[in-house]
With several copies, the nearest count.
Chain A
């Protein structure tokens, strides 16, 4: 199926998101769509599939003008969208999730459960995963959930599949399987729109690349005719010298020490320490238990045994407020769900953990609050018209900067960053790395949990690898390689 979108305009209120974008998808190609956060990639695809209506422009499908009223109509006409945010019903079973809105039914209107189960199994086999169809979707790992979404799309006999960051939550093995499926789909003549911030993947799997910036198409090129640096330059509109800025700080004395931290069924005998000015990277497969360790450390979850020492003193951390008091900051992996209050302004979000320091006499001193936030906005180069606008209107990268800024106010001794650049574009990524460097220069100890190996290798002073809830090895910056990390992460020696 050939899809052509021409001169598409779309605004949300006064926010002009698409300003005359063009896009052309051919039969049986894998077409990468790239651009910074907020460039309008997801929006363009939502316009195509009818979730949003365009303000202007034409869409043709196989040469004929065609506009869908809603995603379901698009799907019935062969265009399926795997959304960036998982569209899951955590309390419903996997099977119910797969067939929502398109259940098979008898002429009397009753559900045909057996047939649906068989169909589900067929798709899961194709993806080489085994997920019991009676399992509650919410108890599946994020990777499994992503696989369910993909299976859902495969079930529709699609001619075009749009994948919006499908690999953000997948393991290497799962990604490989997905790529196999993409190749076989391509052979069947299915066209694929592939949206991702992961450069390596784009160059592995895609045939052509379209780069967007500020709601416009910048360029479309075949993959062999372009390279990494050119794509990045077109995306951000300027030259990006190096992806990972140079680490300059040198680690000082030990700030945090974790001894024998254990929680049955989650992690066992976790020992590690972080020094001031040091970045310790936590690597491992998806679901290895890194997030759970950090949540326990921060007092969000309970643990069974173990000790936490800060600057040589044993501390008790049972609740997050104790952690914050002790000087810990936690940037969670899900910024929308746990990091930000979306309706709050930038200012209100940034001062939240340190509110009381702005109200020495009980009343909040707005002037010092404003000054402080202005300073942070400038230092972190948050792109926003004012500190009063709601964070929900910021792009992903800028939102992430607000989350980090939040913790600067408490003067943290230790900062935990869980997947700090997930879903963040190259330009913003670099700025976040720079910020981490600045923080360590001031003596902050940083724990960085990340599933992106280049990031772990590029930014950490020391790397700990987690495998099934245990620390399976430690590598210095110098000795670490992708291969060594992967071996440790999969349980090899």
Chain B
């Protein structure tokens, strides 16, 4: 019965619900910020906000790619593994003497190639995205360990630009935050102002109808998984710079954080509905939680409990509104 009523959306309520739907996650973020800063005013200090933005950047970048994937009704569990493998390969190139910036670019492209593998397994191989990316996650993780022999790759030199990439500031703003914002703007345009975005939504909304409307669904999907891989690798490059090394186990369970950000941002896991702005907010919510709970001195054990509960509450509130 519920399942049927759910689809009940009359024309007029649509407008109102679109508004609350758009503002829902933002409202959640604001409430969270108010709570945290009342409990510990140092949260609002400028340096902390800058730190927060930097901390959020990695998850946000991955989550942007994940947004496209989830909008098509898919999922990408391999993002963390791609991050690790691309980061190891990039570091390897740097150590072997390649120009770091050039290495980062190649690393991102390699991440894109790993994404293409996912995309081909899903479109050509007709595998469920969950299981295809679960398998490639295992494989990429294994390859990372094989490549690094399980050791971190260090000795990345002190190229200034490379260090800036993860740790520096530009006009007073952390560079990773700038990377995040620029990427956001670009992807926002792609998703909401360009045909590619429409196709993404269409595939998630009704794949059969999208095919019949002449959309090259396999091509679009492969491109989207490639995007997800590329962004994971970009996040990996930031991490490599921040950690001044490539860690073989980097990015473990980052897929879950990214998915949580997407869902907190109001995007539906069944595809076709959602917005990338929501994902940005979702990533900020998770970042604020991590940062805020640390500032409040909550033990890491309880932090997990609180994070889980916040996710549930946020999603439940979102449901309520649209019901």
**Taking the complex as a whole, does A directly touch B, i.e. does some CB pair lie under 8 Å apart?**
yes
Binding site for B on A (CB under 8 A): 12-15, 51, 70-73, 75, 81, 83, 87-92, 96, 99-103, 105, 109-111, 135-136, 138-139, 265, 298-301, 319-321, 323-325, 330, 332, 337-344, 348, 351-353, 355-356, 358-359, 362-364, 384-385, 388-390, 392-393, 406, 410
Q: How far is the CB of A34 from chain B (nearest CB, A)?
A: 23
* With known contacts A91-B272, A100-B202, A355-B198, A265–B214 Cβ distance under 8 A: no
Q: Inside 8 A of B202's CB, which chain A residues have their CB?
A: 89, 92, 100-101, 341, 344, 348, 352
Question: What 1/0 flags go to B168-198 for Cβ under 8 Å of A?
Answer: 0000000000000000000001000111001
Closest A residue to B196 by beta carbon equals: A109
Beta-carbon contact of B194 and A51 below 8 Å: no
Question: What 1/0 flags go to B205-223 for Cβ under 8 Å of A?
Answer: 1101111111110000000
Contact with A12, one of B8, B199, B213 (Cβ below 8 angstroms): B8
Beta-carbon contact of B1 and A390 below 8 Å: no
In the complex, A340 Cα to B209 Cα: how many Å? 6
Task: Tell me, yes or no, whether B273 is within 8 Å of chain A by CB.
Answer: yes
A-B CB contact pairs (8 Å), 15 listed = A14-B10, A51-B4, A89-B209, A96-B201, A139-B11, A299-B1, A300-B211, A319-B1, A320-B211, A338-B4, A352-B202, A363-B194, A385-B11, A390-B9, A393-B9
Q: How far is the CB of B46 from chain A (nearest CB, A)?
A: 36
B199-246 interface (Cβ within 8 A of A): 199, 201-202, 205-206, 208-216
Most buried by B among A15, A72, A300, A355: A355
Closest B residue to A152 by beta carbon equals: B213
Q: Inside 8 A of B208's CB, which chain A residues have their CB?
A: 87, 337-338
Q: Main SS of the interface on chain B? A: helix
Task: Tell me, yes or no, whether B299 is within 8 Å of chain A by CB.
Answer: no
* With known contacts A139-B11, A342-B206, A393-B9, A72–B213 Cβ distance under 8 A: yes
Q: How far is the CB of A76 from chain B (nearest CB, A)?
A: 9
In the complex, A90 Cα to B6 Cα: how many Å? 13
Q: Inside 8 A of A12's CB, which chain B residues have their CB?
A: 5, 8, 10
Q: Inside 8 A of A71's CB, which chain B residues have their CB?
A: 212-214
Beta-carbon contact of A364 and B194 below 8 Å: yes
Q: Inside 8 A of B14's CB, which chain A residues have their CB?
A: 135-136, 139, 388-390, 393
Contact with A320, one of B7, B12, B212, B272 (Cβ below 8 angstroms): B212
Contacts A90-B7, A388-B14 supplied; 12 other A-B pairs, CB < 8 Å = A14-B10, A15-B12, A71-B214, A99-B198, A110-B189, A111-B198, A299-B1, A300-B211, A321-B214, A340-B209, A355-B198, A384-B11
Task: Tell me, yes or no, whether B96 is within 8 Å of chain A by CB.
Answer: no
Beta-carbon contact of B10 and A393 below 8 Å: yes
Beta-carbon contact of A339 and B209 below 8 Å: yes
Q: Inside 8 A of B272's CB, which chain A residues have their CB?
A: 89, 91-92, 341, 343-344
Beta-carbon contact of A87 and B209 below 8 Å: yes
Q: Nearest 6 pairs between A and B by C-beta?
A: A72-B214, A324-B214, A15-B10, A87-B209, A341-B205, A13-B10
Beta-carbon contact of A343 and B194 below 8 Å: no
* With known contacts A320-B211, A353-B214, A101–B199 Cβ distance under 8 A: yes
Beta-carbon contact of A103 and B205 below 8 Å: no
In the complex, A261 Cα to B13 Cα: how many Å? 23
* With known contacts A14-B10, A320-B212, A100–B198 Cβ distance under 8 A: yes
In the complex, A358 Cα to B206 Cα: how many Å? 22
Q: Inside 8 A of A91's CB, which chain B residues have their CB?
A: 201, 205, 272-273
